[in-house]
A and B are shown apart, each in its own frame.
Chain A
Amino acid sequence: MILRSRGALKIVEMPVERGMRALLYSVMVLCTLAACGRTDQAAAPLESTPGVTDTEIVLGSSLALEGHASYLGTETYRGYMSYIRHINESGGIHGRTIRVIAYDDGYDPPMCLANTQRLIVEDRVFALFSYVGTPTTVKILPMVEEAKIPLLGMFTGAHALREPLIRYIINVRASYYQETEAAIRHLIEDLGIMKIAVFYQYDAFGFDGLTGMELALQEYGLAPVARGSYVRGTLDVEEGLHKIMATGAEAVVMIGTYEPCSKFIKLAIQKGFNPVFYTVSFVGAEELARRLDPSANTTVIMSQVVPPPEGPESRALLGSTVEYLELLKRYFPEDKPNFVGLEGYINARVLVEGLDHAGRELTREGFIDAIESIQHYPLALDMAISFSPTDHQGLDSVYFTRLQYGLFLLIKDWEAIRGSIAQDRDRSDAEGRDGTGEASGAVTPDATVKEQGAP
């Protein structure tokens, strides 16, 4: 390539120059390529879809069937099982019946973890279904992500399950943030209450509710006047109570389960402290109602994410979910319809809808895609399930109920509550001045009629 002739030397210089440049660039490209190592990702061993046979789909569920939160787990179980049994008896989904393996975790996160590992590794279930509790469900999130197994329907509105969005986690119910946000709005706007305290379970669930509440108050430029807490699994509510009483709060937001919450309320009334009590749905309405004295002049409000299963307006509100009442009666005749069970039932409705959309060729990924494709599945008049790739929460509805006559009934008229609160306060003050220290349980007929609304 190098010519001797001087005249040609200049011409040859150019190709050599170009050659040099080409060499340079190719070396650089090679370097770059060589440098880029393979980014290995932990690849789980690929296999055929577990938990799916020609005739059966196997699901796994870990929930509190024993222990201090057993009501929540049990009712959830009965709620979804009644629907699933119904489906199985009707021929199943695409020729397959659904079998649910349910383990008790006693609302204990390690237990839940162990159960979940067992379900995934040993029982090789297709998907996880209807878990109960925030700390338990949050604990297993990493495992769910690693195993890439869908988890549909949790009896918890924890923020951690919604944010950041995890593909495999499918929530059905509205979140605690939504509940507390609505509640705070009602408390401040409808009831005119500014001094709001919070009593919460000292764990992830409690913190979640606390944060939601604080965020909601921030919107109004307010903050909780007091924070009281109790340790999960215990009934040590006194310290929290005193802290809250000291501030003279007008309302107490309670994030806990029915045992400690009911104890808190009873103690508060005993001590003559009668604010508006508000709890989130998780508390377990029926159990709470059962533990409270119906004659007491207390205002206990509870937010719910599903419509009340019983009551005059129910039929209209329930829509198609009224089927729950019927199915529960069929499969679990001794049981009473309740909010928790209704949630379980709705979880099952969503599950079946998803399986249906996914088709006969069932895979975990396909199932999730199917769920995400449910754009507007109406369960009732103003209760429709919607999902999308960026929205893994089916419902957004929040209902407010009030404890009356031992039942949590839908609140239709906030003004009335406002009035009754005022009455209760006056009476308490009067009694306080009387020095009896006991809260009067008598309720004036007028007030009762007003609160009752339509018969």
Chain B
Amino acid sequence: MKRFTDISLKNKIFISILAVILMISAAIAFLARWILVSSLISELELRGIAIARTIAERGSGYVLDRNYPRLLSLIFDEAQLNERKHLVAYIFIVDQENNILSHTFTYPFPAHLRTANRVPPEEGKSVQLLTVGNQAAYDIALPIHEGIYRIGTVHVGLNKSHIDNLVSKLRFTFLGFISLVFFIIFIMSHKLAKYITRPISKLTRLSDELSRGNFDIQLDPGSATGDWDPSACPAYVNTDLPCWHFDDASAAREGAAEPSEHRHTCRPCVFYGKREGDEVGQLADSFRSMVWSIKLYRRRLHESEDKYRSLFDSGPDPIFVVDSSSLKIIDANPRAVELYGYEKHELVGRSFLELEPQNPRTGTASFAIDSDAHGCVFYQKVLHQKKGSKPVFVNLHACHISYRGRPAVIVAATDITEMMEKDAQLIQASKMKSLGEMSAGMAHELNQPLNAIKMGSDFLAMMMENDLEVSKENLQQVVSEMSTQVDRAADIINALRAFGRKADFVMEKVDINKPVRGVFSIVGRQFELENITITMELAKGLPPIMAHDNRLQQVFFNLVTNARDAIMEKNQTGSPRAGGTIRIRTYEADGHVVAEVRDDGAGIPDSVRDKIFDPFFTTKETSQDMGLGLAITYGIVKGYGGDIQVTTRRTEGTTFILSFPVPG
């Protein structure tokens, strides 16, 4: 059965029809033959009986007269009469004792015939199939009666071959007829099958071509629309125009303008060409319409795709598409390739975390994974890694999208590395300026330990010169004092150096108390000279924050310097040497590490309070101060994810509150 389903439809139809016709014909033939043969045999029997009867009647006289020549003449005539020559094989007559009276054989009488096929006493006839020589014959025996007495029996032998010839003639005729029918049906069903399947095969071939994407194949030119050129369709050429057939189908359904009106302009279109024909033809028409529809859609899609592709490819910023679940990069535009240094094929499939190694939980990754988040998010100053682990700073815009049915995030990155570097340079410049400002104080700070060291060494030198004995305790005291002072000087220089160092890009865990102390060690002495007291209330065991130590130093330096300036300003109006207090506190609150810098200086007037963090804003006379200190401070704090608050009261003082998030 599987084999049957494998053969083509054409042959299926063809073979089925043939088989059915053959079977029916054969059945009819057999039936007819059976009927006819049995009728024939009985007819021939009757004929034989008729002949026998004639002979019996005409010959009875001769039998009685023993006129055997006449009897022979009679049966010979009956046997040889024209057409009977072929029918009658023999005739013979026997008497009651089965003696042969007469026969028509031209060779010695076959002995077995004499007693064969006897007619029983009460029967009127007897028919039996006998073999005579090498032939079969139906022997029909009829008694010869004289009145009611039987005087002999006539045997008429009919050639079986006669019947066989008739039968075979019949058979031949039937078979000829069947052959003819077979032949005709063969041709007809062949043609029919072909008629049905040829269009199907053609359509199949067309489909194959279409499935391979070859849409330029020639539509059937035999259609009602003839050779219709696709470029004649306005919707095809300009994809903004709708196609009446499938774009406005819903509008038409709602009872808009009569569809026929619209079709008027598109009459030659394949959609509206309907060939009057049978199912096969209509199939072909439908197929054509489908192909044309696909062509239209594909064109639109192509255009749309081109449009968005060019947007993606030509976008001025690097754009990534990141898969939400696997965080793998699905796509990247050429600008991304440029910026990150990877080839496109290296980017696609790479985990986005390789580019954004820091903040795997708080950065883009967390947004991507968070399937509840909608809309977009903006990340600033994110550190990414180029190829070769080179760092690059970017601002990220990330939005949730559905990309090819999968949830994904489209990430646009703006390269701000240069800006960051400029920022750093600016900070550095400011720092340098701060350093410059501090130089006087530094010098003063350093002088003290140096003086102490000088005094000590002078003392020892003097004692040596004068040959005086220096007591062990005195020597120890002097030496240890000198060592301490050297350490102190070294500390100061270290602090300075640390301060001046350009910060690494990489943040580290910093205990906020350390930069506070660092700054104090730098400026503490100097402030003391100016009668400004720095009191530090630093909490112990604060969790470290992600920052740069020396940048924090810079922050505190700025704040402390501003605090001094504020105190000085306040004291200007009063006693210059009144001095003031700067209180620095650190503590933890609400998951944040907080540092407070409070002074009891002049305070910030309300009018400028909002501007203090603006760059290049200064209350001091220009050329003394660039006005970047607080701006930089603000930037640094914000850069660490922190916040800076100001509370101030005129003539009472100002408090800066810095809070930094605790990582983790």
| A residues at B contact (CB < 8 Å) | 2, 6, 9, 13, 16, 20, 24, 27-28, 31-32, 34-40, 42-45, 108-111, 113-114, 117, 120-122, 139, 142-143, 146-147, 149
Residues from chain B with a CB closer than 8 A to the CB of A44 are 106-107, 133
Instruction: Please state if A40 and B165 are interface contacts (CB–CB under 8 Å).
Output: yes
Confirm or deny: B70 has a beta carbon within 8 angstroms of a beta carbon on chain A. yes
Please measure, in the bound complex, the distance between the C-alpha atom of A43 and the C-alpha atom of B137, giving whole angstroms: 13
- Residue of A37, A114, A139, A146 near B168 (CB, 8 A) is A37
Residues from chain B with a CB closer than 8 A to the CB of A142 are 76, 80, 85
Instruction: Please state if B175 and A32 are interface contacts (CB–CB under 8 Å).
Output: yes
Residues from chain A with a CB closer than 8 A to the CB of B165 are 37, 39-40
Instruction: Please state if B6 and A2 are interface contacts (CB–CB under 8 Å).
Output: yes
Q: How close is B105's CB to chain A, nearest CB, in angstroms?
A: 6
Confirm or deny: B443 has a beta carbon within 8 angstroms of a beta carbon on chain A. no
Confirm or deny: B437 has a beta carbon within 8 angstroms of a beta carbon on chain A. no
Q: A2-B8, A28-B182, A42-B89 are in contact. List 16 more A-B contacts (CB 8 A).
A: A6-B208, A16-B11, A27-B179, A28-B179, A32-B172, A32-B176, A35-B173, A35-B176, A38-B168, A43-B135, A45-B107, A110-B69, A121-B105, A121-B106, A121-B107, A139-B76
Please measure, in the bound complex, the distance between the C-alpha atom of A109 and the C-alpha atom of B74, giving whole angstroms: 11
Residues from chain A with a CB closer than 8 A to the CB of B173 are 35
Instruction: Please state if A42 and B135 are interface contacts (CB–CB under 8 Å).
Output: yes
Please measure, in the bound complex, the distance between the C-alpha atom of A146 and the C-alpha atom of B106, giving whole angstroms: 7
Q: How close is B204's CB to chain A, nearest CB, in angstroms?
A: 8
Residues from chain B with a CB closer than 8 A to the CB of A114 are 68-69, 72-73
* Contacts A31-B179, A44-B106; A113 near B73 (Cβ below 8 A): yes
* Contacts A16-B11, A36-B172; A143 near B186 (Cβ below 8 A): no
Closest to A29 in B: B179
Closest to B11 in A: A16
Residues from chain B with a CB closer than 8 A to the CB of A24 are 182-183, 186
Confirm or deny: B109 has a beta carbon within 8 angstroms of a beta carbon on chain A. yes
- Residue of B8, B70, B176 near A110 (CB, 8 A) is B70
Closest to B6 in A: A2
9 A-B contacts (beta carbon < 8 Å): A6-B208, A20-B14, A32-B172, A35-B174, A37-B171, A45-B107, A109-B73, A114-B69, A147-B106
Residues from chain A with a CB closer than 8 A to the CB of B3 are 2
Instruction: Please state if A34 and B107 are interface contacts (CB–CB under 8 Å).
Output: no
Instruction: Please state if B182 and A113 are interface contacts (CB–CB under 8 Å).
Output: no
Please measure, in the bound complex, the distance between the C-alpha atom of A147 and the C-alpha atom of B80, giving whole angstroms: 13
| B residues at A contact (CB < 8 Å) | 3, 6-8, 11, 14, 67-70, 72-73, 76, 80, 85, 89, 105-109, 133-135, 159, 161, 164-165, 167-169, 171-176, 178-179, 182-183, 186, 190, 204, 208
Residues from chain B with a CB closer than 8 A to the CB of A143 are 76, 106
Instruction: Please state if B171 and A42 are interface contacts (CB–CB under 8 Å).
Output: no
- Residue of A31, A39, A108, A111 near B175 (CB, 8 A) is A31
Please measure, in the bound complex, the distance between the C-alpha atom of A42 and the C-alpha atom of B106, giving whole angstroms: 12
Please measure, in the bound complex, the distance between the C-alpha atom of A48 and the C-alpha atom of B613, giving whole angstroms: 150
Residues from chain B with a CB closer than 8 A to the CB of A122 are 108
Q: How close is A194's CB to chain B, nearest CB, in angstroms?
A: 40
* Contacts A28-B179, A117-B72, A120-B106; A37 near B135 (Cβ below 8 A): no
Please measure, in the bound complex, the distance between the C-alpha atom of A143 and the C-alpha atom of B91, giving whole angstroms: 13
Please measure, in the bound complex, the distance between the C-alpha atom of A16 and the C-alpha atom of B68, giving whole angstroms: 72
Please measure, in the bound complex, the distance between the C-alpha atom of A455 and the C-alpha atom of B69, giving whole angstroms: 51
Instruction: Please state if A35 and B182 are interface contacts (CB–CB under 8 Å).
Output: no
Q: How close is B198's CB to chain A, nearest CB, in angstroms?
A: 11
Instruction: Please state if A2 and B176 are interface contacts (CB–CB under 8 Å).
Output: no
Residues from chain A with a CB closer than 8 A to the CB of B14 are 20
Residues from chain A with a CB closer than 8 A to the CB of B174 are 35
Residues from chain B with a CB closer than 8 A to the CB of A108 are 69
* Contacts A24-B186, A45-B133, A120-B106; A111 near B172 (Cβ below 8 A): no
Instruction: Please state if B89 and A35 are interface contacts (CB–CB under 8 Å).
Output: no
Closest to A47 in B: B107
Residues from chain A with a CB closer than 8 A to the CB of B204 are 6
Residue from B69, B133, B168 with most neighbouring chain A CB atoms (10 Å): B69
* Contacts A37-B168, A121-B106; A113 near B69 (Cβ below 8 A): yes
Closest to A25 in B: B183
Please measure, in the bound complex, the distance between the C-alpha atom of A24 and the C-alpha atom of B18, giving whole angstroms: 10
Please measure, in the bound complex, the distance between the C-alpha atom of A147 and the C-alpha atom of B107, giving whole angstroms: 8
The 5 A-B residue pairs with the shortest CB-CB distance, nearest first, are: A37-B168, A147-B106, A35-B172, A110-B73, A40-B161
Instruction: Please state if A42 and B108 are interface contacts (CB–CB under 8 Å).
Output: no
Q: How close is B133's CB to chain A, nearest CB, in angstroms?
A: 5
Q: How close is B90's CB to chain A, nearest CB, in angstroms?
A: 10
Please report whether the interface of chain A is mostly helix, strand, loop or mixed according to DSSP.
Answer: helix
Instruction: Please state if B171 and A34 are interface contacts (CB–CB under 8 Å).
Output: yes
Residue from A24, A113, A143 with most neighbouring chain B CB atoms (10 Å): A113
Please measure, in the bound complex, the distance between the C-alpha atom of A110 and the C-alpha atom of B102, giving whole angstroms: 12
Closest to B110 in A: A45
Q: How close is B462's CB to chain A, nearest CB, in angstroms?
A: 114
Q: How close is A91's CB to chain B, nearest CB, in angstroms?
A: 32
Q: How close is B86's CB to chain A, nearest CB, in angstroms?
A: 8
Residue from A108, A117, A122 with most neighbouring chain B CB atoms (10 Å): A117
Residues from chain B with a CB closer than 8 A to the CB of A20 are 11, 14, 190
Please measure, in the bound complex, the distance between the C-alpha atom of A120 and the C-alpha atom of B76, giving whole angstroms: 15
Instruction: Please state if B73 and A34 are interface contacts (CB–CB under 8 Å).
Output: no
Q: How close is A1's CB to chain B, nearest CB, in angstroms?
A: 9
Q: How close is A453's CB to chain B, nearest CB, in angstroms?
A: 48
Instruction: Please state if B108 and A121 are interface contacts (CB–CB under 8 Å).
Output: yes
Instruction: Please state if B159 and A42 are interface contacts (CB–CB under 8 Å).
Output: yes
Closest to A112 in B: B69
Please measure, in the bound complex, the distance between the C-alpha atom of A2 and the C-alpha atom of B135, giving whole angstroms: 52
Residues from chain A with a CB closer than 8 A to the CB of B169 are 37
Please measure, in the bound complex, the distance between the C-alpha atom of A108 and the C-alpha atom of B70, giving whole angstroms: 10
Residues from chain A with a CB closer than 8 A to the CB of B8 are 2, 9, 13, 16
Residues from chain A with a CB closer than 8 A to the CB of B171 are 34-35, 37
Please measure, in the bound complex, the distance between the C-alpha atom of A39 and the C-alpha atom of B162, giving whole angstroms: 9
Closest to B160 in A: A40
Residues from chain B with a CB closer than 8 A to the CB of A13 are 8
Instruction: Please state if B183 and A113 are interface contacts (CB–CB under 8 Å).
Output: no
Please measure, in the bound complex, the distance between the C-alpha atom of A39 and the C-alpha atom of B178, giving whole angstroms: 22
Please measure, in the bound complex, the distance between the C-alpha atom of A15 and the C-alpha atom of B80, giving whole angstroms: 58
Instruction: Please state if B133 and A43 are interface contacts (CB–CB under 8 Å).
Output: yes
Please measure, in the bound complex, the distance between the C-alpha atom of A117 and the C-alpha atom of B175, giving whole angstroms: 44
Q: How close is A32's CB to chain B, nearest CB, in angstroms?
A: 7
Instruction: Please state if B73 and A32 are interface contacts (CB–CB under 8 Å).
Output: no
Instruction: Please state if A31 and B73 are interface contacts (CB–CB under 8 Å).
Output: no
Please measure, in the bound complex, the distance between the C-alpha atom of A114 and the C-alpha atom of B72, giving whole angstroms: 6
Residues from chain B with a CB closer than 8 A to the CB of A28 are 179, 182-183
Please measure, in the bound complex, the distance between the C-alpha atom of A27 and the C-alpha atom of B183, giving whole angstroms: 10
Please measure, in the bound complex, the distance between the C-alpha atom of A121 and the C-alpha atom of B85, giving whole angstroms: 19
Residue from A28, A139, A147 with most neighbouring chain B CB atoms (10 Å): A28
- Residue of B6, B11, B68, B168 near A35 (CB, 8 A) is B168
- Residue of A2, A40, A139 near B7 (CB, 8 A) is A2
Residues from chain A with a CB closer than 8 A to the CB of B107 are 44-45, 120-121, 147
Residues from chain B with a CB closer than 8 A to the CB of A111 are 69
Q: How close is A221's CB to chain B, nearest CB, in angstroms?
A: 35
Residues from chain A with a CB closer than 8 A to the CB of B183 are 24, 28
Please measure, in the bound complex, the distance between the C-alpha atom of A27 and the C-alpha atom of B21, giving whole angstroms: 14
Instruction: Please state if B80 and A43 are interface contacts (CB–CB under 8 Å).
Output: no
Instruction: Please state if B73 and A117 are interface contacts (CB–CB under 8 Å).
Output: no
Please measure, in the bound complex, the distance between the C-alpha atom of A31 and the C-alpha atom of B172, giving whole angstroms: 8
- Residue of B76, B164, B178 near A37 (CB, 8 A) is B164
Residues from chain A with a CB closer than 8 A to the CB of B135 are 40, 42-43
Please measure, in the bound complex, the distance between the C-alpha atom of A20 and the C-alpha atom of B173, giving whole angstroms: 24
Q: How close is B268's CB to chain A, nearest CB, in angstroms?
A: 33
Closest to B68 in A: A114
Residues from chain A with a CB closer than 8 A to the CB of B134 are 43, 45
Q: How close is A47's CB to chain B, nearest CB, in angstroms?
A: 8
Q: How close is B645's CB to chain A, nearest CB, in angstroms?
A: 77
Q: How close is B288's CB to chain A, nearest CB, in angstroms?
A: 21
Closest to A115 in B: B69
Residues from chain B with a CB closer than 8 A to the CB of A39 are 165
Please measure, in the bound complex, the distance between the C-alpha atom of A113 and the C-alpha atom of B75, giving whole angstroms: 11
